[in-house]
């Protein structure tokens, strides 16, 4: 089964790169060029900025984004003015970003575009909702480079992860690091009542007792230097709204009152712990769940690093597919390892 056929099973897709130059934009281009627009209405936007011909950090050449006639897109006012296609204006958001308001339009001709859309989770979800009201069948989100982005790609139903030699030039290390991220993406969802209770809280550390009542640890974040868990004998769930880091996870693991508590994070992009610390936590009986997750449908690889180092593509795809149990594609070869 092709990667396109898998994508078409869902109403939304995020494409997320583990590092610059891992092939995220090439993946987006590949998907946009092959979607069947005769019977599917498609909209695309980006959490970051995509479509630049030159990377503003590394100064290396980047593949440009080309939209086809009929595709809808969301981008900033600044980048909308720079478009190299004819388009029909659909909407101008009342939410202002650093590059202006988000403009939604439909391409009347094919052409190149810089994508820089909604930059927060709320505005991204609102834009996706607007697209559904316009009859869009598939919304594609270009994921931000930074996993600390306010707009998480985990709001989409499905996801493609791009990895490659730019993430690690050592094949064994690359497979291990990518497999750990896949493990985090596949963490289970918390139960529905708990998700509804916790989702509105985007900052701080919270806990629920055995009766389901919600309490805030006032003045505490997961990054706080001084964290105490007094009075939490009845803790059933511990929720970290921000970043989950090694130091906090270790404190939870070592605290006897939290031994049987479920640890909840917003989504995989908030987890910044080492594989070693994560393994210690889960092997001691710790459980981690998320409030939002996407179905990871495939991983793509770019075997070439910016420095010119090239890994064996077929061997890399095979080893990675075996480690994660998912199709792995080198899209320049379009042969999947399953």
Task: Note the pLDDT tens digit of each residue in 185-212.
Answer: 999 999 999 999 999 998 999 999 999 9
Q: Is 171 left (phi over 0), alpha (psi -120 to 50) or beta?
A: alpha
For position 127, what pLDDT does the model report? 95
* Banded model confidence at residue 55, pLDDT cuts 50, 70, 90: low
Which of 57 and 107 is assigned the larger pLDDT? 107
Q: Which long-range contacts (CB under 8 A, 24 or more apart) does 183-189 make?
A: 184/268, 184/271, 185/159, 185/161, 185/268, 185/293, 185/294, 185/296, 186/293, 186/296, 187/268, 187/288, 187/289, 187/290, 187/293, 188/289, 188/290, 189/289, 189/290, 189/291, 189/292, 189/293
Q: Is the pLDDT of residue 52 over 60?
A: no
Euclidean distance between the first and final Cα of the chain, in Å? 10
Residue 274 domain boundaries: 192-290
Residues 10 and 155 in one domain: yes
Q: Among 99-108, 143-152, 204-213, 290-299, which stretch is predicted with the lowest mean pLDDT?
A: 143-152
Please report, for the domain that includes residue 118, its CATH number.
3.40.50
Nearest to 160 by CA among 148, 174, 145, 142: 142
For position 96, what pLDDT does the model report? 80
188 contact partners, CB below 8 Å, separation of at least 6: 289, 290
Answer whether 115's CB lies under 8 Å from 73's CB.
Answer: yes
Nearest to 74 by CA among 129, 19, 152, 145: 129
Q: Is the pLDDT of residue 277 over 50?
A: yes
Residues 170 and 243 in one domain: no
Average pLDDT over residues 74-98: 93
Residues 217 and 318 in one domain: no
Place of tokens 């493990």: 183
Which of 336 and 80 is assigned the larger pLDDT? 80
For position 337, what pLDDT does the model report? 61
Answer whether 78's CB lies under 8 Å from 51's CB.
Answer: no
Q: Tabulate helix, strand, coil % of the chain (nearest 5).
A: 30, 30, 40
Answer whether 16's CB lies under 8 Å from 153's CB.
Answer: yes
- 304-330 pLDDT, tens digit per residue, is 998 889 999 999 999 999 999 999 999
Nearest to 318 by CA among 297, 338, 304, 298: 338
Provide, rounded to the nearest whole percent, the portion of the chain with pLDDT above 90: 76
Q: Is the pLDDT of residue 45 over 70?
A: yes
Distance CA 12, CA 29 (A): 16
For position 62, what pLDDT does the model report? 57
- 224-239 pLDDT, tens digit per residue, is 878 888 788 889 999 9
The pairing of strands 87-97 and 65-67 is: unpaired
Residues 139 and 224 in one domain: no
Residues 208 and 84 in one domain: no
Residues 147 and 221 in one domain: no
Average pLDDT over residues 154-160: 94
Residues 308 and 174 in one domain: yes
Q: Is the pLDDT of residue 50 over 60?
A: no
pTM passes above 0.85:
yes
For position 53, what pLDDT does the model report? 45
Burial (0-12, 13-18, 19+ Cβ within 10 Å), 176: middle
- Helix, strand, or coil (residue 83): coil
Average pLDDT over residues 246-272: 93
Residues 130 and 275 in one domain: no
Provide, rounded to the nearest whole percent, the portion of the chain with pLDDT above 70: 92
The pairing of strands 235-240 and 262-265 is: parallel
The pairing of strands 262-265 and 287-290 is: parallel
Q: Is the pLDDT of residue 161 over 80?
A: yes
For position 51, what pLDDT does the model report? 47
Residues 178 and 150 in one domain: yes
For position 98, what pLDDT does the model report? 84
- 143-155 pLDDT, tens digit per residue, is 876 655 667 888 9
- Helix, strand, or coil (residue 64): coil
H helices of the chain, where? 3-7, 24-34, 77-81, 121-133, 171-185, 192-198, 246-254, 275-283, 313-324
Residues 268 and 283 in one domain: yes
Residues 219 and 251 in one domain: yes
The total of structural domains in the chain comes to 2
The chain-wide mean pLDDT, for the chain, equals: 90
Residues 165 and 272 in one domain: no
Distances (CA, A) of 293 to 40, 185, 282, 286: 24, 7, 19, 19
Nearest to 329 by CA among 163, 183, 157: 163
Average pLDDT over residues 247-251: 94
Nearest to 128 by CA among 154, 156, 149: 156
Q: Is the pLDDT of residue 1 over 60?
A: no
């Amino acid at each position: 089964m092709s990667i396109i056929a898998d994508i078409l099973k869902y109403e939304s897709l995020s494409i997320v790169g583990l590092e610059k130059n891992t092939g995220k934009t090439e993946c987006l281009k590949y998907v946009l060029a092959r979607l069947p627009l005769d019977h599917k209405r498609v909209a695309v936007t980006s959490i970051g900025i995509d479509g630049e011909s030159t990377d503003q950090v590394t100064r290396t050449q980047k593949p440009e984004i080309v939209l086809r006639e009929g595709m809808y897109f969301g981008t900033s006012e600044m980048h909308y003015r720079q478009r190299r296609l004819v388009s029909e204006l659909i909407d101008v958001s009342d939410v202002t970003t650093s590059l202006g308001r988000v403009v939604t339009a439909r391409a009347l001709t094919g052409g190149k575009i810089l994508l820089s859309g909604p930059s927060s989770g709320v505005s991204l979800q609102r834009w996706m909702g607007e697209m559904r009201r316009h009859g869009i069948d598939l919304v594609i989100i270009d994921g931000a480079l930074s996993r600390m982005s306010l707009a998480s790609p985990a709001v989409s139903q499905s996801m493609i992860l791009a990895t490659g030699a730019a993430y690690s030039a050592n094949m064994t290390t690359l497979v291990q690091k990518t497999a750990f991220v896949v493990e985090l993406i596949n963490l289970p969802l918390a139960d529905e009542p708990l998700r509804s209770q916790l989702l509105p809280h985007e900052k701080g550390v919270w806990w629920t007792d055995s009766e389901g009542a919600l309490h805030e640890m006032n003045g505490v974040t997961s990054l706080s230097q001084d964290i105490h868990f007094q009075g939490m004998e009845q803790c059933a769930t511990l929720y970290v709204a921000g970043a989950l880091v090694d130091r906090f996870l270790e404190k939870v693991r070592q605290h006897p009152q939290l031994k049987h508590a479920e640890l909840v994070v917003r989504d995989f992009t908030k987890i910044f712990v080492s594989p070693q610390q994560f393994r210690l936590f889960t092997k001691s009986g710790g459980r981690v769940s998320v409030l939002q997750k996407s179905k990871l449908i495939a991983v793509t690889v770019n075997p070439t690093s910016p420095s010119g180092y090239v890994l064996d593509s077929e061997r890399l795809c095979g080893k990675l597919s075996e480690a994660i149990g998912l199709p792995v594609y080198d899209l320049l070869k379009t042969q999947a390892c399953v």
